[in-house]
Structure 1
Amino acid sequence: MSNVIREPRPVVRKLLARPQHEGLGATVRRSIGRFELKYFDPFLVLDEFSVSAPAGFPDHPHRGFETVTYMLQKLRKRDCPLEMPRFEGTQKGLQLWINLSSKYKMIEPRYQEMNSKDISEAAKDGVKVRVIAGEAFGIKSPIHTRTPTMYLDFTLKPGSNIRQPIPLSWNAFVYILDGEGTFGNSRSSPVSAHHLLLLGLGDGLEAWNKSSKLLRFILVGGEPLGEPVVQYGPFVMNSQEQIDQTIEDYDNYTNGFEKARHWKSESTIVFGY
């Protein structure tokens, strides 16, 4: 992917993700999947979560989309006699729901886990990037998503800037984790943490850190599906009839929900890091 950007993408909308309670005592900042922004094709939900034991998210069913859970810090495991491991301290991370096209909505579930040391990483000119999905600075992620997606974690030192290409036809957004930055236009006002920035048309993102502190944000882009979306909680299909069938399948433990009969949730959150 060339680093030449002819048409920088402007910021066309800005949303602040405010904290709310979710699950069993967890705190979530939801930026996509809320009233003001229910869907940004192909993205259904983006949550920044914070969980301290014994709070967490109980087991729950999914159908019709894939999730990417990205821990923002290492998990500190503590000994526990239960089968489900427990972790110390407050765990923070991001969870992204990516919609699946109609041909993939009924595929068998799969799980890809990547440890922190295995995430592709590069740095130059005061900028560090971790490539969760897609490509940046000439390095690629081994993670594969059914819906073509880029997911990049950037950290910019004071005074640095980036120019990151994005496929022209893709939708893309920025979510700021720490610090404040200037995006799209060097004369724009800086934007601070917990803001979601929807990017307009163009072939790449330009961003600057004009502050005296580190700036950290994720850049996410994906190929739009352009299909009807009917959502009922964690079920995302193309029609109401498919949603009704999904509910019936779940109630009857059939068509992919066979193991739901034996789920036993604990008040904890467990993600590999």
Structure 2
Amino acid sequence: MANTSNRYSSTHQQQVVERRLERVIDLPAPMPGQFGPAHTVVPVISQEDYALSDPFILFMDDRLDGKPIGGPHPHAGFETVTLVLKGGMVHDGGRLGERDAQWMTAGSGVVHGEGLENAAGQARILQLWLTLPKAQRWAPASFQDIPYSGLPVRREAGVEIRLYSGSSGGVRSETKNYVPVTLAEFLLEPGASIEQDLPGSYNGFFYALEGELAVGPDERVLRPGQVGWLDRPESAGDSSIRITGTTRARALLYAGQPQGEPLVSYGPFIGDTQADILRVMGEYRSGRYGPPPRR
């Protein structure tokens, strides 16, 4: 467990833990993906690491060049959060443009499809697999489109935070979650600094996209090609992270409430037991799954 610093809120006179980056991981170079020579992928989180990454199951950084992606395929037992960094894509309910996101609850089971908006273009797409609480593992399937143009924005000197989910300062996203999650884009000018509050129980990481940023009281630097995991306070309560732009920088923060429940996975299916996997596979094969409705 990493050491943490403490401070007190002058408003509430309560202890606030200052968090830092406990682990900075250098990610591999893009490697061949499953959709042919035009598809490469950087694995940011692997399912084998779920005990450390809970509530995040898997996270892939997909890069594509002119080939369709996806096609109709099933999911059940979890949620996907898809964020388009470059290009555009189509999905069951319409399209996602650059920096738009889709939050899909696979839950009780879906068959959905996705593809590049322009077959001759390029795209970079982040996809996160997010667990569902055990009581909502088989929630009705649905999706939410989250357009970048409509994101709530927190602005401070030299800093913009755009919220796909969760809150920052007095700004709050309307995205509906089963697992509480903060997903935010940080845009920082050189030398600009801001504090982001999180529940101390949240597990989370920063994913650097452009430039360099320094995180925490020890100002540990994070660069593109790296993922930085926050430390985990020993006691629950409030926590805060100081983020500074070493250069002009852009990064994403993913942080959420761990669920503490072991998972069983098989391909696109997540369950609590092996019996769950056999059941959902049978449901899919019998044709019970369809496209997700808009939430």
State the TM-score, normalized to the length of structure 1.
0.81
Mapping of residues 25-174 of structure 1, within 5 Å: 25=36, 26-33=39-46, 37-39=49-51, 40-73=53-86, 75=88, 86-87=117-118, 89-174=121-206
- Residues 214 and 222, structure 2, Cα contact 8 Å, conserved in 1: yes
Q: Secondary structure at the match of 2:285?
A: helix
* CA offset digits 1:230-269 (Å, max 9, x no partner): 1112111111111121222222223xx2x48xxxxxxxxx
Of structures 1 and 2, the one with the larger relative CO (CA 8 A, separation 6+) is 1
Aligned counterpart, 1:206: 242
Q: Secondary structure at the match of 1:54?
A: coil
Report deviation, 1:221: 1.0
Report deviation, 1:3: 10
Q: 1:227 aligns with which of 234, 245, 261?
A: 261
Report deviation, 1:21: 2.6
- Residues 3 and 163, structure 1, Cα contact 8 Å, conserved in 2: no
Would you identify which runs of 4 or more consecutive aligned residues in structure 1 move more than 6 Å? Answer: 2-5
Q: Which amino acid is 2:250 matched to?
A: R
Give unpaired runs (5+ residues) of structure 2.
1-8, 91-114, 234-238
What is the root-mean-square deviation of aligned Cα atoms in Å? Answer: 2.4
> Would the alpha carbon gap of residues 76 and 146 (structure 1) be closer, same or farther in structure 2, given more than 3 Å must change?
closer
Identity %: 27
Q: Distance in 2 between matches of 1:174 and 1:200?
A: 12
Aligned counterpart, 1:185: 217
> Would the alpha carbon gap of residues 3 and 253 (structure 1) be closer, same or farther in structure 2, given more than 3 Å must change?
farther
Aligned counterpart, 2:227: 196
Instruction: Say whether residues 1:6 and 2:16 are aligned partners.
Output: yes
Q: Which moved more, 1:67-76 or 1:164-173?
A: 67-76
Report deviation, 1:89: 2.5
Q: Distance in 1 between matches of 2:116 and 2:69?
A: 13
Q: Secondary structure at the match of 1:245?
A: helix
Q: Distance in 2 between matches of 1:209 and 1:186?
A: 14
State the TM-score, normalized to the length of structure 2.
0.76
Aligned counterpart, 1:243: 277
Q: Which amino acid is 1:13 matched to?
A: R
- Residues 208 and 224, structure 2, Cα contact 8 Å, conserved in 1: yes
Q: Distance in 2 between matches of 1:219 and 1:100?
A: 19
Aligned residues: 246
